[in-house]
Structure 1
């Protein structure tokens, strides 16, 4: 049996390498990759949604990283009013660096 790691690069490749190193046969295949957007128009529309949302669900550390990068580059902060929910402990801990509220 082989493990298929579908986590985006480079984290997925690192995980597959670690699994192979400890004797768990695995390979990496990512269905998607995270990259910064090059379209400021679509981001400006999404930033409005970010600030007017009641609930924000966070699924990955990369989404936090790139959102935070966009906010910093545009002199913006993470909104305080929405309720934040993170999927996974690692993602929650990473989000806690940027969101100064309980979630």
Structure 2
């Protein structure tokens, strides 16, 4: 059996290494990576939408990390009004550090 790990770095690399250590041949080939934006079309252009949202879906720890970094650097906070939904228990636990709200 061979496993193709598509999870972004560094989590994907760690998973592939663990699988290889237990004898399951695996390769790490991420479909995408998360990096801070250097684009002129950045979160700063979309921040109003964050505060107007009724529902916010959280898909990854990295998206939470970089969004929170931006908010902190700009003296902003996660909005409390929207309903939050996280994809994955680990993502939900990670996100709960930043928003003190049940979701």
TM alignment of 1:1-103, pairs within 5 A:
1-39=1-39, 41-103=41-103
* 1:40 CA drift (Å): 5.2
Question: What CA deviation, in whole Å up to 9, does each residue of 1:16-56 have, x standing for no partner?
Answer: 00011011111100111100012355322211111100000
Q: CA deviation at 1:11?
A: 1.0
CA distance in 1, matches of 2:60, 2:43: 18
In the aligned structure 1, how far is the partner of 2:23 from the partner of 2:41? Answer: 47
What is the alpha-carbon distance in structure 1 between the residues aligned to residue 41 and residue 12 of structure 2?
30
Q: CA deviation at 1:87?
A: 0.4
1:84 aligned counterpart, secondary structure: strand
Give 1:9 shift.
Answer: 1.0
Gaps of 5+ in 1: none
Scaled by the length of structure 2, the TM-score of the pair is 0.95
Deviates more, 1:9-18 or 1:42-51: 42-51
